[in-house]
């Protein structure tokens, strides 16, 4: 037996006991004829003590242990004279009588500590060392905990975890599929699933009633920062339910997770329509940790001679509480912020609500004190507040003001990572116009049902048709979304038609699903959560790759194992494919 206890386990109650520990050498130090070794494993750190006087040879060997050596130490647990209150094991130490080096270690290329000296590239190449850092270990353990609690909750609610295939059929629509040449069926390919959508719907048709899976999904996209070619979803579907049932069930799932992972009780999750979210926050994923909602000012700010406003479709502002004291420099900073190309505003109007009841604005030439007061009143501003106003085409102005609102929220410290505010956003549009392709595309996916009361707009005004679709938002990030599905072949055909998919193509790609709808398909609905993102938010971090054991970089490479890589000639031959890489691109 390598160990009787782990390195986070020993307490005063173990004093005088003979124990074996095994772990990694975090550091060694010599002091007053003694050698101290911090021995580390996943569970904690325990101090080992070697005494020059008691056993010189042993003490000398301990002194020569390098960082990250793997050792086994046997000895007696003793109360420490100088206890370390910062360490759970800090009341005791192990007086070592036997030391075995289980494996040596070269000097690591970076320090295995939270505050490491290693850059991203070297840490990814030596990911097995990076994964030893306590913060990363906590992330991975948090992910484990969340996964277990998700399953525990869903199992308790009668959901069945059912595995769906990873080798499926390529039906590119939206993102690109990863494909897998089939050796047994030359000239044909499997695809890796972008999601198990059609399979979970078939499971509902098959009567499984409640399904879930924590499942890998694949998308061959050009990777933006913090996107991974493979990612994990909590995928769920329910039968004989309406939207209300879904909202309650999964709100309770979040409640369960927050309670059992973070010991936080969350309130009833508020709900907001997509239309309201856009109007009040300029975003379909509002961060409701703070207010500062939009106020539309067209009626009080237009037709008073300021051409910029008069020509705008929308004049809209936010009230930044207590920010009237912002300096010229700070205000210029905000203007520069919204004028950045990524945001693209033409300018920013400010109004300071001075403590003395007067106003100082960047548009004093056009608006008098009384006029500015009507703005302030409309926005519920009080002395000391700062009004920030943007104008332009409605959709753009809202997006720009959304960015500004979030920036101010950051500046004022209103977006605390451990303040968890969930929100349901409802009634999304069914379709959105794809400029490039000049056609309607499904905003969620083509299996989403339109709202019955909007059926008549499908012919006349498709952009106005709302869907039975919902997103769950946490702190301004979409963490999940879904819809009530279509379960009627006729309606499904109608939607494919709206999306400009020729009947031949829809039958070729989704005939199996539409066929299934003809054999007693029940009403069903579901949703999926982005598991990587959920973990990172609940872990208080931004980057999802900090919560993935072996992530890929922005070129889709795993630099540790050096994948992807070339394959053998025999593999090409057996798969009946040939590489046709333009020479300059050959890597």
Least distance CB 544 / its own copies (angstroms): 12
Comparing C-alpha atoms, which of 586, 453, 443, 472 is closest to residue 537? 472
Q: Which stretch binds its own copies (CB under 8 A): 180-188, 314-322, 391-399, 465-473?
A: 180-188
* Residue 135 binding its own copies, by CB under 8 A: no
* Residue 569 binding its own copies, by CB under 8 A: no
End-to-end CA distance of the chain: 49
Q: Which stretch binds its own copies (CB under 8 A): 47-55, 171-179, 357-365, 380-388?
A: 171-179
Could you count the other beta carbons within 10 Å of the beta carbon of residue 368?
10
Q: What are the φ and ψ backbone dihedral angles of 115, each rounded to 5 degrees?
A: -90, 70
Residues 235, 215 contacting (CB under 8 angstroms): yes
By CB under 8 A, the residues from 196 to 255 that bind its own copies are: 198-199, 202-203, 205-209, 216, 218, 220, 222-223, 229-230, 232, 240-242, 245
Q: Which is nearer to its own copies, 99 or 408 (CB)?
A: 99
Q: Which is nearer to its own copies, 210 or 405 (CB)?
A: 210
Size of the site for its own copies (CB under 8 A): 125
Q: How far is CA 362 from the centre of its chain?
A: 39
Strand partners, 179: 191
Task: Go through the chain and tell me how many residues it has.
Answer: 587
* Residue 161 binding its own copies, by CB under 8 A: yes
Please give the DSSP secondary-structure letter assigned to residue 175. B
Could you give the CA distance from residue 536 to residue 143 in angstroms, rounded to a whole number?
A: 9
* Residue 189 binding its own copies, by CB under 8 A: yes
Residues 487, 447 contacting (CB under 8 angstroms): no
The single residue among 11, 29, 183, 340 that binds its own copies, judged by CB under 8 A, is 183
Helix (H, G, I), strand (E, B) or coil at 116: coil
By CB under 8 A, the residues from 10 to 69 that bind its own copies are: 22, 24, 40-43, 68-69
By CB under 8 A, the residues from 269 to 328 that bind its own copies are: none
Q: Which stretch binds its own copies (CB under 8 A): 185-193, 332-340, 396-404, 536-544?
A: 185-193
Q: Which is nearer to its own copies, 196 or 317 (CB)?
A: 196
CA 433 to each of CA 88, 183, 436, 502: distance values in angstroms, whole numbers, following the listed order: 58, 40, 9, 18
* Residue 4 binding its own copies, by CB under 8 A: no
Q: Which is nearer to its own copies, 90 or 551 (CB)?
A: 551
By CB under 8 A, the residues from 381 to 440 that bind its own copies are: none
The single residue among 186, 463, 490, 500 that binds its own copies, judged by CB under 8 A, is 186
By CB under 8 A, the residues from 496 to 535 that bind its own copies are: 512, 516-523
Least distance CB 564 / its own copies (angstroms): 4
* Residue 117 binding its own copies, by CB under 8 A: no
* Residue 1 binding its own copies, by CB under 8 A: yes
CA 416 to each of CA 259, 337, 421, 504: distance values in angstroms, whole numbers, following the listed order: 19, 21, 10, 52
Could you give the CA distance from residue 72 to residue 52 in angstroms, rounded to a whole number?
A: 19
CA 222 to each of CA 219, 227, 274, 284: distance values in angstroms, whole numbers, following the listed order: 9, 9, 28, 24
The single residue among 32, 57, 106, 460 that binds its own copies, judged by CB under 8 A, is 106
């Amino acid at each position: 037996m390598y160990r009787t206890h782990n390195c986070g386990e020993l307490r005063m109650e173990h004093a005088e006991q003979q124990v074996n520990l095994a772990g990694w050498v975090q550091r060694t130090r010599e002091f007053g004829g003694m050698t101290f070794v911090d021995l580390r494993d996943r569970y904690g750190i325990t101090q080992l003590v070697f005494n020059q006087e008691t056993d010189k040879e042993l003490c000398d060997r301990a002194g020569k242990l390098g960082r990250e050596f793997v050792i086994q130490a046997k000895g007696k647990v003793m109360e420490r004279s100088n206890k370390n209150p910062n360490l759970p094991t800090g009341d005791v130490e192990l007086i070592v009588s036997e030391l075995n080096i289980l494996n040596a270690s070269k000097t690591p290329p970076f320090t295995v500590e939270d505050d490491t000296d290693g850059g991203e590239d070297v840490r990814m190449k030596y990911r097995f060392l990076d994964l030893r850092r306590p913060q990363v270990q906590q992330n991975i353990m948090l992910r484990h905990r969340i996964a277990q609690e998700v399953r525990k909750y869903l199992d308790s609610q009668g959901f069945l975890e059912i595995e769906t295939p990873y080798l499926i059929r390529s039906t590119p629509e939206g993102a690109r599929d990863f494909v897998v040449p089939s050796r047994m069926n030359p000239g044909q390919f499997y695809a890796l699933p972008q999601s198990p959508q059609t399979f979970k719907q078939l499971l509902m048709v098959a009567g499984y009633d409640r399904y879930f899976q924590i499942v890998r999904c694949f998308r061959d996209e050009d990777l933006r920062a913090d996107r991974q070619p493979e990612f994990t979803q909590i995928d769920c579907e329910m039968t004989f339910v309406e939207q209300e049932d879904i909202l309650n069930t999964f709100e309770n799932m979040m409640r369960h997770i927050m309670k059992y992972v973070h010991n936080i009780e969350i309130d009833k999750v508020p709900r907001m329509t997509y239309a309201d979210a856009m109007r009040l926050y300029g975003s379909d994923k509002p961060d409701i940790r703070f207010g500062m909602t939009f106020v539309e000012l067209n009626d009080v700010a237009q037709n008073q001679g300021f051409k910029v406003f008069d020509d705008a479709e929308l004049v809209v502002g936010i009230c930044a509480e207590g920010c009237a004291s912002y300096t010229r420099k700070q205000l210029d900073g905000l203007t520069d912020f919204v004028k950045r190309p990524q945001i693209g505003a033409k300018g920013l109007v400010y109004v300071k609500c001075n403590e003395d009841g007067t106003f100082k604005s960047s548009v004093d030439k056009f608006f008098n004190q009384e006029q500015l007061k009507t703005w302030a009143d409309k926005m519920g501003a009080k002395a000391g507040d700062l009004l920030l106003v943007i104008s332009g085409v409605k959709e753009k102005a809202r997006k720009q003001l959304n960015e500004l609102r979030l920036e101010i929220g950051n500046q004022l410290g209103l977006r605390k990572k451990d303040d968890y505010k969930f929100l349901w956003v409802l009634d999304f549009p069914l379709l959105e116009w794809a400029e490039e392709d000049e056609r309607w595309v499904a905003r969620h996916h083509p299996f989403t049902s339109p709202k019955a009361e909007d059926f008549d707009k499908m012919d006349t005004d498709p952009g106005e048709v709302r869907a039975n679709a919902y997103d769950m938002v946490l702190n301004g990030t979409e963490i999940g979304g879904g819809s009530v599905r279509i379960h009627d072949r006729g309606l499904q055909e109608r939607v494919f038609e709206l999306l400009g998919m020729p009947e031949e193509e829809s039958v070729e790609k989704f005939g199996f699903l539409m066929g299934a709808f003809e054999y007693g398909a029940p009403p069903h609905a579901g949703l999926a959560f982005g598991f990587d993102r959920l973990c990172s938010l609940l872990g208080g971090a931004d980057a999802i790759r900090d919560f993935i054991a072996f992530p890929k970089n922005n070129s889709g490479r795993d630099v540790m194992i050096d994948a992807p890589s070339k394959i053998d000639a025999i593999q090409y031959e057996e798969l009946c494919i040939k590489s046709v890489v333009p020479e300059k691109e050959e890597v």
